[in-house]
Amino acid sequence: MGRNVEIPAMPRRIVYHGETFGDLLALGVEAVGGSAFWEQRSVLGDRLQNVMDIEFSINVAKLVELEPDLIILASSDEEQYNKAAGIAPTVTFNTFAPLEQRLLKLGDLLGKRMAAEQWLETYRERSEQMWQMLKGELAQGESASVFVTARGGRLFVMGTIGLSVMLYHRSGFQAPSSIGQLLSEGISYLEISAEDLPAFAGDRIFMVLTNEASSRQAAYELAGSKLWKSLPAVRSELAYWVEDSEWNYGDAFTSSSLLEKLPALLRRSS
């Protein structure tokens, strides 16, 4: 936002208002408050036990109660920023940036640069090992797509965020050309119609289920349609149904956990 902010050298009471709360956990940082992580409660579990939910729109009273010395805000909204900045030093942060960029930025902000670099090195090694191990399970050049029904049952194809980031690894799945265009243009996700599915469907399909009842129902109805059943991946039993809270977040903690979950899922179909 073009502001000069004096950041504490070693902040101790951090509030993280953003979707990638698991990035902090990967760096061994304990926040006192946050938001936008409650859908991941099943994954993050007791790691959220002492974290106060300051709510999406920022509950000022809760924020004051926490007495933070640094607020990390994943929003460029002027009103949100002013709420936070009136209480403690506040920096804005792009939670949709690539994982490596996010972790290094957090490392610099929190005095954890070395920890961030070490985590990333270990993650890259583990990721490469996982894909090498899966070589026998995947056909050369095999493609994959990630779809999700959300926001009242609307259908989206995932681009540069979520599960697709992990799948489109240099040693992993290819992106269908239609999704490759989204990636090259930096598009996070795109709303499509059911009729568009054949144009975006890869050799394997990952269908993400959210906790929203209407969206889950829409996904189930789609699965019962002739169009869905006609997709090559579905006919080959290479369509996977996964939970949003466990699979479709791109934070460091979730990304690390998927290195074990993905091989188990793929082997069930081989």
Q: At what angle do helices 113-133 and 252-267 cross, to 10 degrees?
A: 10
pLDDT along the chain (270 residues), means of 10: 76 91 92 75 74 90 96 88 94 90 95 97 98 93 98 97 95 98 96 98 98 96 98 98 93 94 86
The set of residues, in sequence order, having a beta carbon less than 8 Å from that of 233 and lying 6+ positions away, is 145, 201, 202, 203, 204, 205, 239
**Can you say how many angstroms the Cα of residue 56 is from the centroid of all Cα atoms in its chain?**
17
Tell the CATH superfamily of the 14-120 domain.
Nitrogenase molybdenum iron protein domain (3.40.50.1980)
Q: Residue 161 in contact with residue 217, Cβ under 8 Å?
A: no
Give 150-153 contacts, CB < 8 A, sequence gap 24+: 150/210, 150/212, 150/215, 150/244, 151/212, 151/215, 152/212, 152/214, 152/215, 153/214, 153/215, 153/217, 153/218
Task: Indicate if 138-267 has the same CATH topology as 14-120.
Answer: yes
How high is the pLDDT of residue 57? 87
- Contact between 222 and 228 under an 8 Å Cβ cutoff? The reply is yes
Q: Domain segments of the chain: what residues?
A: 14-120, 138-267
CA pair distance 15, 62, nearest whole angstrom: 11
191-222, pLDDT tens digit by residue?
A: 999 999 999 999 999 999 999 999 999 999 99
Quote the pTM value.
0.90
DSSP tag of 134 = T
Superfamily covering domain 138-267: Nitrogenase molybdenum iron protein domain (3.40.50.1980)
Gap between the Cα atoms of 168 and 160, Å rounded: 9
Cβ neighbours of residue 268 closer than 8 Å, sequence gap 6 or more: none
**CA 180, CA 247: separation in Å to the nearest integer?**
21
Nearest CA-CA partner of 141 in 167, 173, 166: 173
Q: What confidence score (pLDDT) does residue 270 get? A: 54
